[in-house]
Structure 1
Amino acid sequence: MTDAADSSRLERRRAILAAMLPHVPFDGWSDRTLRRAAADADLDPAVARLAFPGGAAEVIAFWSDEVDRAAVAAYAARDGDGMKFRERIAYLVRARIEALAGDRESVRRALTHLAQPQHAGLGMQCLYRTVDELWHAAGDRSTDFNFYTKRLTLAGVYSSTLLFWLDDESDDSTETWRFLDRRIAGVMRIPARRQKLQQAGQLFPNSRRFARMVSERLREGRVG
């Protein structure tokens, strides 16, 4: 595929996503909503299907990647070279959640959609990509076991903060950011967690095993 074709496809995907988000709070993430979005964007339904062959679930994954990019761009504009590592992570997590501020109900619906058994793997992949992007943007270049413990810990911090934010009615989400500050303390406990995981022999050679560990932590209520 040429650069021009890639650019055109990206533009179509963004147009469909923008048209779909207003419908999601009322109609959910479905192929029917995708078709309505295509019509709103003046695109043939067949074109929408080519843009998102995986249907609504693929739109959610694309949206997640777009929000990741927005958070990283916000951090780059902030120039965090003078920030401590924990401040960089806190800023990136907050920037990502703030990028979702106008679509809270769509986020809630997306989490419900990805919780379905047939989409659970995709949900974990999205979470993995998010925490990997945030750590990389913050300057993490680790390649050893620490690489995985950092991402596992941040997955808990981000997930719990996002869930808190969904029900936060405080002005400017101030309670969410206080909650985030408390959760960030967990990031600083990575060495202790790494030792515990090493003793248990729980290594993470790939994102699939990482996702399985995160899923177990979520089910057991040990996120964060």
Structure 2
Amino acid sequence: MENAQTLQRLVEAALPHVVFDGWGPATLAAAIGDSGVDPALARALLPRGGLDLALAFHHLGDAELARRLASEDLTALRFRERVAHAIRLRLSLADREAVRRATSLYALPQNAGDGARALWHTADTIWTALGDTSRDVNWYTKRATLSAVYGAVVLYWLGAPEDIDAFIDRRIEDVMAFEKTKARLRENPVTRALLAGPLKLLERISAPQPAEDLPGYVKKGA
């Protein structure tokens, strides 16, 4: 908890500088100075400097999203409306220029993996907050699909924020169409027979367990 509060202080102190210097060494140095955090502690928490600072900014936003969603009653909304609401809420919690600078940072080849994991983290936060209980391969497909949707939404939001609501609705329709297609394939006797082997293999894939340090595992003896 103490480390989380320290990271929050650093991120809050960094935001006024990001617009000018991006998520780079100058911003980190200014954040350390403005926040009063011990420089050694700051560098221990952010060993990769500005990249880790940008990721801390992203994860703090996801944590706030989870808190907000947990406090809301969304039972009156259809599921697609809940997902759309969660995406809109996540954007409302973000600083557009800070996100723009972070997106440029993640676009660098050496940071692409971190950017992808950040999108996945947001998708996981949304699915978990909305009560997803899947523990099989659907755990992955749901998050992969929503990661792609959220990534597209962020890029659109950075360029045309005034049309973002309609864009989100269109992307959510794409997700719903994908889920409907999956359901039809499983119900069709021809495609069900064709997919029997691959689906049997996929059934062995399980979502990550709290004690696992890997992105899921394959059930033994399944």
CA RMSD of aligned residues (A): 2.7
Amino acid at match of 1:81: T
Q: Does the C-alpha gap of structure 1 residues 191 and 152 become closer, same or farther in structure 2, counting only changes over 3 Å?
A: farther
> Tell me, what secondary structure is at the counterpart of 1:157?
helix
TM-score for both structures, normalised by structure 1: 0.78
> Tell me, what secondary structure is at the counterpart of 1:142?
coil
Instruction: Name 1:216's counterpart in structure 2.
Output: none
Match of 2:129 among 137, 142, 145: 137
Once the 2 structures are TM-superposed, how far is the Cα of residue 40 of structure 1 from its aligned partner?
0.8
Match of 2:43 among 24, 49, 67: 49
Instruction: Name 2:211's counterpart in structure 1.
Output: none
Once the 2 structures are TM-superposed, how far is the Cα of residue 54 of structure 1 from its aligned partner?
2.5
Write out per-residue CA displacement over residues 78-97 of structure 1, whole angstroms, 9 at most, x where no aligned residue: 21133221111111111101
Instruction: Name 1:156's counterpart in structure 2.
Output: 148
Distance 2:21 2:207 in 1: 35
Instruction: Name 1:187's counterpart in structure 2.
Output: 175
Distance 2:7 2:69 in 1: 24
Instruction: Name 2:24's counterpart in structure 1.
Output: 30
Instruction: Name 1:61's counterpart in structure 2.
Output: 55
Q: Is the 8 A contact 1:75 1:91 kept in 2?
A: no
Instruction: Tell me whether 177-186 or 143-152 shows the greater mean CA deviation.
Output: 143-152
Q: Is the 8 A contact 1:31 1:56 kept in 2?
A: yes
* Larger RCO (CA within 8 A; separation ≥ 6): 1
Aligned residue pair count: 197
Write out per-residue CA displacement over residues 42-61 of structure 1, whole angstroms, 9 at most, x where no aligned residue: 23322221221221111122
Match of 2:93 among 84, 87, 99: 99
Instruction: Name 2:157's counterpart in structure 1.
Output: 165
Distance 1:10 1:60 in 2: 14
TM-score for both structures, normalised by structure 2: 0.79
Q: Is the 8 A contact 2:140 2:207 kept in 1?
A: no
Distance 1:132 1:99 in 2: 17
Once the 2 structures are TM-superposed, how far is the Cα of residue 8 of structure 1 from its aligned partner?
2.5
Once the 2 structures are TM-superposed, how far is the Cα of residue 112 of structure 1 from its aligned partner?
0.8
Amino acid at match of 2:72: R
Which structure's CA Rg is the greater one? 2
Amino acid at match of 2:151: S
Q: Does the C-alpha gap of structure 1 residues 78 and 206 become closer, same or farther in structure 2, counting only changes over 3 Å?
A: closer
Q: Is the 8 A contact 2:135 2:207 kept in 1?
A: no
Distance 1:206 1:30 in 2: 35
Once the 2 structures are TM-superposed, how far is the Cα of residue 191 of structure 1 from its aligned partner?
4.1
Q: Is the 8 A contact 1:149 1:193 kept in 2?
A: no
Q: Is the 8 A contact 1:153 1:186 kept in 2?
A: no
Q: Is the 8 A contact 1:71 1:99 kept in 2?
A: yes
The percent identity for this pair of structures is 37
Structure 1: gaps spanning 5 or more residues: 1-6, 211-224
Equivalent residues in 2 for 1:103-118 (5 A)?
A: 103-118=95-110
